[in-house]
Structure 1
């Protein structure tokens, strides 16, 4: 089974894609460490499934300075943790035609939550995942977006943050599987790339709500079922999980880039580069 992990931490697990995937993991017998800011929702999730199947850990992943101590606490409390799913994120409009409307603190927060937080989290959890040893499969799972490939002008900062995650996933996967790091070959890097999905992401944006677009996108359960089926497919292991309806289009855009990336990495290693 391509998703053999038994103890999985999921950020942004109190709503949307994070919660939906957590539910499916729990149903599959995986112990989930659900992470979110809303204690009441975490409590509800634990009450629904039982403390033997899920744990609720309240934490604000945008607090970069706190991630180091949090990672130590989590890995001490849950020493069998073998996968982290970095899903937390949010989206806001960025209107350059009306510069006075741009809230730079919001821009910073969006970039921090969507990109810097996953990067910091990976850095602080990698020592634990590495320590599990080559005989224990482990993984880092990023939730990016199809907007990482083709941006939408309305939410430019969100798209840029997801493009950064997409690039980070490629580099991290290459490094961990590379000849310079044999001790990390058991750590898989997976990227989930959603289209527009019916979650709280859109209703929270006043401009979308005013245009009647608060609930546009793929139904959440439909998306989560297809994504979980792909993650657990026993015949095909995928590094990037893309809905079937988008695979051909994305492949046409990405195949040449991947070929170029792999060729560049191979050439640099041939010249003696560590990575």
Structure 2
């Protein structure tokens, strides 16, 4: 009997790194479950992928019940989840820390911090019982270098960064890998101006895919990937 394909769940797959990663893994030995907030964009992602090994649902990752139900339906379709990649994220507040409203900070924390935790809580217990699993959290170099005018975004990503580092130690005995990826500037449609000198979403997706090819007992804790043009590092 042929080996079961690994089951990978990717959030934020309607655009950006999540979409690019879905395209990478769908053509490999994976069953792929994806979600994204924008229905039309997610439909385009799904249209680009082989239909026999991809499952998708459109919803906002802040919807706790839909998150739980999505994981249940994905598991029913393709079996236990082997890999979770938290790609969904938001950076829409460009203000100084003192000018950032509580509601703006709260929303970024919901999307960038609490939502990934909900996904981890939904999939990690099964990984623990099987003593096998990989969680990859797409963070940001904002966790590593303080930039003005993105205090709320930096705080939300740094919170997930710290949480991931603790979970890495907690889950080591269960043979679960907790990987942190810190991309620098990415040229995405969300930017006000094109930045061709920045990374492409596919560059980050390829780096994430390469992390999945490491040996069983090789655990790459952290990966920083920046455009060559970027200077904001120590």
- TM (norm. structure 1) is 0.72
CA distance in 2, matches of 1:62, 1:117: 6
User: What's the offset of the Cα at 1:228?
Assistant: 2.8
Residues 105-129 of structure 1 show CA distances to partners (whole Å, capped at 9, x for unaligned) of: 3321111000011112212222222
Asked if 2 retains the 8 angstrom alpha-carbon contact of 1:139 and 1:188, the reply is yes
Asked if 1 retains the 8 angstrom alpha-carbon contact of 2:12 and 2:88, the reply is yes
Counterpart position of 1:160: 155
User: What's the offset of the Cα at 1:173?
Assistant: 0.8
User: What's the offset of the Cα at 1:223?
Assistant: 3.5
User: What's the offset of the Cα at 1:94?
Assistant: 4.2
CA 1:231/1:242 → structure 2, altered by over 3 Å: closer, same or farther?
farther
CA 1:126/1:84 → structure 2, altered by over 3 Å: closer, same or farther?
same
Asked whether 1:193 is paired with 2:179, we answer: no
3-state SS in 2 of match to 1:120: helix
Counterpart position of 1:170: 165
CA distance in 2, matches of 1:242, 1:37: 26
User: What's the offset of the Cα at 1:230?
Assistant: 4.4
CA 1:244/1:167 → structure 2, altered by over 3 Å: closer, same or farther?
same
Which residue of 130, 141, 155 maps to 1:146? 141
Asked if 2 retains the 8 angstrom alpha-carbon contact of 1:13 and 1:22, the reply is yes
CA distance in 2, matches of 1:240, 1:186: 17
Which residue of 199, 202, 218 maps to 1:218? 199
Higher helix share: 1
CA 1:46/1:126 → structure 2, altered by over 3 Å: closer, same or farther?
same
User: What's the offset of the Cα at 1:139?
Assistant: 1.2
Listed as ranges, the matches of 1:86-105 within 5 Å are: 86-96=86-96, 99=99, 102-105=100-103
Residues 175-234 of structure 1 show CA distances to partners (whole Å, capped at 9, x for unaligned) of: 0114xxxxxx23211111111111234x2xxxxx3xx46666223333433443344256
User: What's the offset of the Cα at 1:33?
Assistant: 0.7
**CA RMSD, Structure 1 to Structure 2 (Å):** 3.0
- TM (norm. structure 2) is 0.83
CA distance in 1, matches of 2:147, 2:53: 39
Number of matched residues?
228
CA 1:228/1:70 → structure 2, altered by over 3 Å: closer, same or farther?
closer
Unaligned 5+ segments in structure 1 are 179-184, 204-208, 254-275
Asked if 1 retains the 8 angstrom alpha-carbon contact of 2:10 and 2:86, the reply is yes
Counterpart position of 1:31: 31
3-state SS in 2 of match to 1:193: strand
Counterpart position of 1:265: none
Counterpart position of 1:110: 108
Asked if 2 retains the 8 angstrom alpha-carbon contact of 1:75 and 1:128, the reply is no
CA distance in 2, matches of 1:227, 1:84: 12
Asked if 2 retains the 8 angstrom alpha-carbon contact of 1:5 and 1:82, the reply is no
Asked if 2 retains the 8 angstrom alpha-carbon contact of 1:61 and 1:113, the reply is yes
